[in-house]
Structure 1
Amino acid sequence: MVAMAAVRRLRALATAGPGLRGLSVTSRARPRGLVYEQHGEPAQVLQLKDIDLAELWDSGVRVKMIAAPINPSDINMIQGTYAILADLPAVGGNEGVGQVMEVGSRVTSLKPGDLVIPADAGLGTWRTEAVFSEESLLKMPSDIPVTCAATLGVNPCTAYRMLSDFETLKPGDSLIQNSANSGVGQAVIQIAAAKGIKTINVVRDRPDLQELVDRLKSLGADHVVTEEMLRKPDVKDLLKNVPKPMLALNGVGGKSATELLRHLQHKGTMVTYGGMSKQPVTVPVSALIFKDVKLRGFWMTQWKRDHAQNKEELRKMIEDLCSLIRQGQLTAPACREVPLANYQEALTASMKPYISAKQILLM
């Protein structure tokens, strides 16, 4: 409700006429953002402070940020352990949704009032306001819920590509994935269900396991098992009505990834997109020799950069995902909305084990 109220206020501002758009930067409240000047633990190095707003150039777009999630990659970038690092000092956050307030004279694809999301990582979305380049933004349909828009560009896109680019799965086929309660995992369950693809979903054991199982099944999961259950011989009886999967999606690594390979069909593919266990993927020799499995990796940021010159495929993916959202077949992950001023609370919650709710910063 808070996020929707923010959207209504911003839309009213964006359509208030030339008088508002003509205000100088100094007559508005100073933009604020979560800034880090060195790498380290986010709770220690992030500071909420006033930040400078760049002048609006010909191809620039002034955006009022509405909401932005906290993802594991955001944490890793601040820690200095991610594959790409921003120049310091930097504003945290790689994903989010904002509203266009003003555009430069050469901007043709966007206008005041449009909702936008980043087209690439590294923009620094944990701020109240910014000026971005036109090419760094993607227009979002106005009828998409704020939390869906804020969390669309990373996890659902990752799920969509992994389901599309590695194996040709037909209705009735199956896949197996670990980290099934993650943002990617929840998106995989829903997109697969919409396509008629069966899912075997692996999660860590936890005190509220049944609650998690019920929630994942409400999203369309066919089977939800713990890593311990997956290692037991009688799991074959549990999964006897599901065809052996051709695709395995690995967001954990370590022993969990090895177990996925054990259940993969002959000539199947395991795609690794994360390593939450911080353990290497260990592949049994028998899986390579006797099952001829394929091992692939996927990184959404690289995919977007590979398609930066021609964004048609990116736009089609966003359109397909938005269509699923409209049909009620894809929802945002379980979210907890936190005001930007309470960012320390959100950071702490995002790094706790067994927390399935994604923390969303409201600007």
Structure 2
Amino acid sequence: MPTQPDAIVVRAPGKLFVAGEYAVVSPGEPSVLIAVDRYLTVSLTRGVDAGSIHSPEYGRMPVRWTHGADGLTLDREHHPYDYVIAAIEVAERLRAERGIEPRFFDLRIDSGLDDPSGRKFGLGSSAAVTVATIAAIDAFYGLGLGLRGRYELAMLATIAVAPNASGGDVAASTYGGWIGYRSPDRDRLRAARAQIGVDAMLGSEVWADTEIVRLEPPAGLDLLVGWTGHPASTERLVSGVSRGTSATGPDQAAFLSASRECVGDLWRALSPAASGDPVEPADDQLALRAIRRNRRLLQHLGERSGVTIETDRLRILCDAAEGIGAAAKPSGAGGGDCGIVLAPADADVAGMLRTWETNDIRHLTIGVHPPEGENNDG
């Protein structure tokens, strides 16, 4: 990607959910995610008179924005860029609260998270662009946010666009590697932003429900990812499940409890020393059982809500994996997109991949983006 010599260039990885989908939308409920080695890149250069946002994905004409008396003034006529604009808005508010003089900048966005044809794999491009934009502006203004500050600012931008987003994808894109994640209370965040401002929120008690911990990859299991070829809308699926279930009913309480138990097992399998036990290799069998149980939970949730979480191709993908002694489940909200597999070293992966190919399921050659430079941050 050509850049000016003084450009600030930041790349953020995509993500995949490993476990805890749907439950993680409730504050404090656990989940497991990985950051993947597919990236979205933001290049920031100093602007003159106005800032701009360019991306080949969103068309040829840039979006124009300026500073106005009431904040950011944006021409939205042709391009929404909702997450990018939300990231700029929250970062500019922090800049203003800290008394830093405003400047203009141009953003160039390039994504490697999607198929060359433009079809989305479901790797979290919205979170990645938010995280990368915040990181670039952090460097531009010298805000000194650190990983936790960048996560919090990106989370505030995210819920300005998608009010019920868990932010697990934001955490994965920020921290890298395998992470355990619990989401904050988004209503509390919105109220605090209006009452005390962005700067006072950073690192404060309003994030009390949030937890982000590093997990160790299962050394004896291989991670494989299959793509069904059918993109899915997370927001639409989560809304559909919410409409089809009672948020306070006994079935939902049972779902959250069961999810908490099986994801908790996965946390323990990937961090056995966390409970004070002697350090031992990750418990691969416990991890496999947890993934299989989480798949069954999502199946039952789909049946109860009337939402197709596990599509026919996702079912084939997962059944083929279980048939060779592996564990598999839809990743994220389901309804299409990707499925993930954890396979023992002696499993017949080649046979599973032949079944995938026969059913037009694409094996994505995806690895895990390594952890970024800070320790557990909860």
TM surpasses 0.5: no
**Larger helix proportion, structure 1 or 2?**
2
- TM-score under structure 2 length normalisation: 0.22
- TM-score under structure 1 length normalisation: 0.23
